[in-house]
Structure 1
């Protein structure tokens, strides 16, 4: 028996915010002092490090549960599945529904409950709940769905990653340029075929690392409101990821019994282009290999970092041949891997 993705869908907002969008922003350091470079220099250095030239923001009239529902509808259609057959709806996010120009996050009822409501599912035993696991939330939801299906508790699950980070970024923080909005969803089912999820690995590093990503005040200390924004210690996260993610991926792959030479592609969380490249290079170095050509698809240049949504949306793009130069086929082995707030790390080895 295998546990496989039988349907995939995403929602990528149509509103494009290019790097020039930040040209008139007033950036400050954490201590409230003005940043010592002109904005064109800041933006140029930002593009060189992250690889981001533009990102997507959702329309003012929508919130996270809306775009999660859109992605879910696309996944259900792709799987040709009746929504009433779903046993679980698992939604990974981090900040709930935040209305445009609001200072408050709304998570009651849960985002998963709102998605079930939006889909008009009547079945009471379709259980809907949220996962708060930082950027690795969608993978963790997939791991939970895998456990439910293998234990016999469920047959069909809907796993969604959705986030609207444009609603929680500090316009006076350079890091605000990284974040974006989006949603991706997968239908996960028991399959009579071999393959699917072959192994998985998760870890939480919270002794010293718990608050590398946190909610904090604006870098503009002259602001007197009570609003809090997503903040991070970028250098610490970079060093943490390079030290721990390659080992996690290796542990997961070794548990699967699959040779590294059989891995066709790595779908890694789109956090930072240079960081992702360094992680994959270190992973292959653990096997005395170099990454094969076209083994690491990237969408961050156009879509930015949409947290839990980056991997399912990237996988959707590749499966539908919408990312030039990248394609996968049945029986290919791929790795999903992510790192994020918590600090959490996880990975899945998956045979298509």
Structure 2
């Protein structure tokens, strides 16, 4: 009998605080060389919206931590799957900045976020193993791939895979890129099923860490004379865009080949919500590899316009929203083939082909 990795439940936590583009109009922006950008803030913000597609983003309330969001998404996924948490073999939590607490520059990594989730769920079973996964924005997809390996090796039957990120507390208010990032958490319950018609069909992953390592990193504030000990997320935007446009289509193509699936079989592509213009270009480049054109609005669901870029949380929250009818123009049905694909710090890329 063959073993399939089937998603039996999903959940997401969308923070309640809405941060609109216009609220950044009071900011003074500087380059990474600490030179003030002379454009009026309103002009910068409108250019930003046209490029990224982002009009608003979500921030967590001050009393929440990164693990709190993970716990809520996990609870929703467990309820959706209708399972007993004590039967979970692994809790895999993807993030990039630890358990970011309010009013502090410290990002706690001990105990692990996964251990926090196990504690919050009240799981007593010592055979439920929690651990964290740092793989850049593709972390949740990589966690799903790890669950697939466990199942095929008969090392587990049920995994909880979570992506959670509190980016609002690691951004530099003097950096234009700060407008991209947001908070959120998404989760799924994945289970091993024998001879199932649905589940993961194939996957692929790649990492480029020679010349590309610093494309996304941590650095000091752009504000002149800032304390170098305090670090914020930084990006080389143009290089990230060019890298993603070159390598993500190839990763998806490799994934489809591994799955034995043609591009025409794919109904939806759930791509990391990094930048709407970039995502649109990636999907068009993918179809161009097959000599095809595409109306991206038909195959590429989006929530970046309202939710911003929440890193590892973008794909699981997007998938949960589409599954539950929260994005009316997109839906999935049993038998549909979809792709999850992401790119992020490392620089890492991955993709999973999945039949609903």
Q: Tell me the CA shift for residue 199 of structure 1.
A: 0.4
| C-alpha separation in 1, matches of 2:85 and 2:59 | 28
Query: Counterpart of 1:37?
Result: 39
Query: Counterpart of 1:290?
Result: 293
Q: Tell me the CA shift for residue 224 of structure 1.
A: 3.3
| C-alpha separation in 2, matches of 1:174 and 1:259 | 39
Alignment of 1:218-233 (within 5 A): 218-224=221-227, 226-233=229-236
Secondary structure at the counterpart of residue 316 of structure 1: helix
- 1:205 pairs with 2:204: no
Query: Counterpart of 1:125?
Result: 127
Q: Tell me the CA shift for residue 194 of structure 1.
A: 2.1
| C-alpha separation in 1, matches of 2:168 and 2:102 | 9
Query: Counterpart of 1:171?
Result: 173
Query: Counterpart of 2:333?
Result: 329
Unaligned runs of 5+ in 2: none
**Greater CA drift, 282-291 or 341-350:** 282-291
Deviations 1:177-214 (A, max 9, x none): 00000000000001231221000101110010011000
Runs of 4+ in 1 over 6 A off after TM superposition: none
Residue of structure 2 aligned with 1:12, choices 11, 14, 20: 14
Corresponding pairs, count: 352
Unaligned runs of 5+ in 1: none
Query: Counterpart of 1:50?
Result: 52
| C-alpha separation in 2, matches of 1:179 and 1:94 | 13
- 1:344 pairs with 2:344: no
Secondary structure at the counterpart of residue 235 of structure 1: helix
Q: Tell me the CA shift for residue 225 of structure 1.
A: 6.4
Structure 2 length normalisation: TM-score? Answer: 0.98
| C-alpha separation in 2, matches of 1:123 and 1:96 | 24
Q: Tell me the CA shift for residue 6 of structure 1.
A: 0.2
| C-alpha separation in 1, matches of 2:61 and 2:228 | 24
| C-alpha separation in 1, matches of 2:128 and 2:163 | 18
Deviations 1:4-42 (A, max 9, x none): 100000000010000011010111111111112000000
Query: Counterpart of 2:191?
Result: 189
Deviations 1:246-274 (A, max 9, x none): 01100110111112111000000000000
| C-alpha separation in 2, matches of 1:169 and 1:273 | 20
Aligned-residue RMSD, C-alpha: 0.9
Q: Tell me the CA shift for residue 290 of structure 1.
A: 1.5
Structure 1 length normalisation: TM-score? Answer: 0.99
Given that 2:69 and 2:185 are in contact with CA atoms closer than 8 Å, whether structure 1 keeps it comes out as yes
| C-alpha separation in 2, matches of 1:306 and 1:150 | 30
Query: Counterpart of 2:320?
Result: 316
Residue of structure 2 aligned with 1:134, choices 136, 139, 159: 136
Deviations 1:33-86 (A, max 9, x none): 111200000000000000000000000000100000000000000000100000
Secondary structure at the counterpart of residue 183 of structure 1: strand
Deviations 1:77-108 (A, max 9, x none): 00001000000000000001122221111000
